[in-house]
Amino acid sequence: MAYTTIDNPELYFQTKLYTGTGNDNLSVTLDGSENMQPDWVWLKDRGESSAHEVFDSVRGVTKTIQTNQTNAEATQADTLKSFDSDGFTLGDNGDINYSGSNTYVAWNWKAGGSASNNTDGTTTVSLSVNLTAGFSIGTYTGTSAAATIGHGLGAVPHWIMIKNRSSGSRKWAIWHNDLSGTNKYLAIDRNDAELTDTATWNNTSHTSSVFASAGSGEVNQGSENFVFYAFKPIKGYSKFGSYTGNGNDNGSYIHLGFKPAWIMYKKSSGAENWFLHDNKRQGFNPDNELLFADLTNAEGTVNRIDLLSNGFKARTSDGGINASGATYIYMAFAESPFVNSNGVPNNAR
């Protein structure tokens, strides 16, 4: 029986905690047992109100977008300056490298390194893809017409995040396989329930080679530039699903098939924030060190969740994670598979 295709998830995802110095060329080295050069880096100041800064190797260094707002892409020479063989190097920008005792979290994913052109769809995409990890990063130019866009995953994506890089007035557009229809999407920069717009996905199902888009400004405005992050599930490493809350402090259990290293979840049936947990900022259960992808807030400390050897469990009836009868979507990545390819189980926290 195949339990996982990835025995060491640290080759493809790692969380790193670091302290700012305020100095230029701060080298941040990842802590994993093996080196990993990231292609997608998401940074947040834990102790102060600040933006979530997102960088990737396809758009290139110093180019940042922010999950908590609609701002267009900005080029800032003092931000992320290089993707290194086992981490990254930062400039002295105060949001990601302030001097003193400011602590930060960096979430790091491995795609496929240098991008190449993908012409599977009607739109040419500059694409970096990692089939083993089920992750691709792509950039393209919009057409304001129905289009198909190659994602390179070889399977239907379960999660797609798209940002208009050119416009400061366009929401993020999030596709999740458990939304209620092909005309539905979520916006990570706001707390809305799932939104309805046939001009986003063209009310068309995505395929194993392309995702569909119409002419909305969020995904395909003419002559404007876009970036997407697309994922397919990998057994023992990643999962993108949904669950129903039970409104009880002994909350819903969500089976993943692995010990999670990182989880983001959102109530899709109503208005709630996007919550972020990882295995480093708390380190023990109940996991209460949470951040909000749609807010600049500093880290909160409210007991909400247990990270388990094979999934996670809500530990509160709070509406952000476990309201009775509410629907929640999530994306999760592994610290270790529940059982590795040799049949050896992992340990709980």
Tokens 């049936």 belong to which residue?
269
**Contacts for 277 with CB less than 8 Å, ≥ 6 apart:** 260, 262, 263, 264, 287, 289, 290, 304, 305, 307, 312
What type of residue sits at position 33?
S
Cα–Cα distance, 278 to 261 (Å, whole number): 5
Task: Give dist(CA 255, CA 175) in Å, integer.
Answer: 21
Query: pTM here?
Result: 0.96
Angle at the Cα of 35 from the Cα atoms of 61 and 125, rounded to 5 degrees: 40
Q: Is the pLDDT of residue 1 over 60?
A: no
**Mean pLDDT calculated for residue range 50-65:** 98
Where does the pLDDT of residue 101 fall: very low under 50, low under 70, confident under 90, or very high at 90 and above? confident
What does the pLDDT read at residue 190? 96
pLDDT for 16 beyond 70: yes
2 token code pair: 């195949």
What is the overall mean pLDDT for the chain? Answer: 94
| Residues whose CB is less than 8 angstroms from the CB of residue 111 and which lie 6 or more positions away in sequence, other chains included | 39, 40, 56, 57, 58, 128, 129, 130, 133, 135, 136, 137
Residue 94 has pLDDT above 50, yes or no: yes
Cβ atoms of residues 99 and 42 within 8 Å: no
Mean pLDDT (whole number) for 252-270: 96
Coil, helix or strand at residue 201:
helix
The total of other beta-carbon atoms located within 10 Å of residue 81's CB is 19
Helix, strand, coil percent values for the chain (each to nearest 5) = 0, 40, 55
Question: Per residue in 293-306, pLDDT tens?
Answer: 999 999 988 878 99
Token output for 262? 């990182």
**β-bridge mates for residue 108, sequence order:** 14, 41
My answer on whether omega of the bond before 286 falls inside 30° of 0, hence cis, is yes
pLDDT at 167: 93
Q: Summarize pLDDT for 191-234 with one digit per residue, the tens.
A: 999 999 988 999 999 999 999 999 999 999 999 999 999 999 99
pLDDT at 282: 76
Task: List C-alpha distances in Å: 52 to 109, 147, 285.
Answer: 16, 30, 25
pLDDT digits (tens, 9 = 90+) for 102-148: 899 999 999 999 999 999 999 999 999 999 999 999 999 999 999 99
Position 232, amino acid = K
Counting Cα atoms < 13 Å in the Cβ hemisphere of 331 gives 21
High-pLDDT (> 90) share of the chain, %: 87
Rounded to the nearest 10°, the torsion over CA 204, 206, 209, 212 is 50
* Measured distance CA(278)–CA(172) in Å, rounded: 23
**What sign for the dihedral angle of Cα 96, 99, 102, 104?**
positive
**Strand, coil or helix: 198:** helix
CA dihedral 65, 113, 35, 93 (to 10 degrees): -30
For residue 338, the one-letter residue type is F
State how far the Cα of 271 lies from the Cα of 269, in Å rounded to an integer: 7
State residue 220's pLDDT score.
96
320 DSSP assignment: T
Q: To the nearest whole percent, how much of the chain has pLDDT over 70?
A: 96
